[in-house]
Amino acid sequence: MIEDLNGRLEAAALSLTGQGPIKERLFAAYCTYLQDIQQSDLPALGAEFGEMIQALHREPALPGDDVVRASVRKLSNREACYYAELVVKLYGTLAGLKHPYVGTRGARSLAATAT
């Protein structure tokens, strides 16, 4: 499951870097990659992810619309940016668990070869 979760978070994070308003990108990322991920799947930042899930499901849907679109529309741009940043943090955290930190010595070696 972690491979699938990591891939989905990566895809969501990458989709947030595309063009268009942040609210549209957040809506697309959530509906395409994140909507069936549970808070319990993300122990590190699960509480924050749970808050995002609640925020994206709190507004009533208009006729012909859905609850997530209505909720995203009601978010401020600041809130939308916060949730987009959360998705990137979640991906970074999970990727960090998959690829542990090499340590200071490894980081210096990598920095020396990059110059």
Per-residue model confidence as pLDDT tens digits over 1-43: 445 898 999 999 999 998 999 999 999 999 999 999 999 988 8
Residue type, position 82, single letter: Y
Q: How many CB atoms lie within 10 A of CB 49?
A: 22
C-alpha torsion angle, residues 114, 91, 12, 59 (rounded to 10): -140
Nearest to 96 by CA among 10, 4, 1: 10
Counting the structural domains of the chain, the total is 1
CA 112 to chain centre: 32
Residue length, the chain?
115
**What range does the domain containing 17 cover?**
2-114
Give the integer Cα–Cα distance in Å for 57 and 60: 8
The tens digit of pLDDT for each residue in 82-110 reads 999 999 999 998 877 665 555 555 444 44
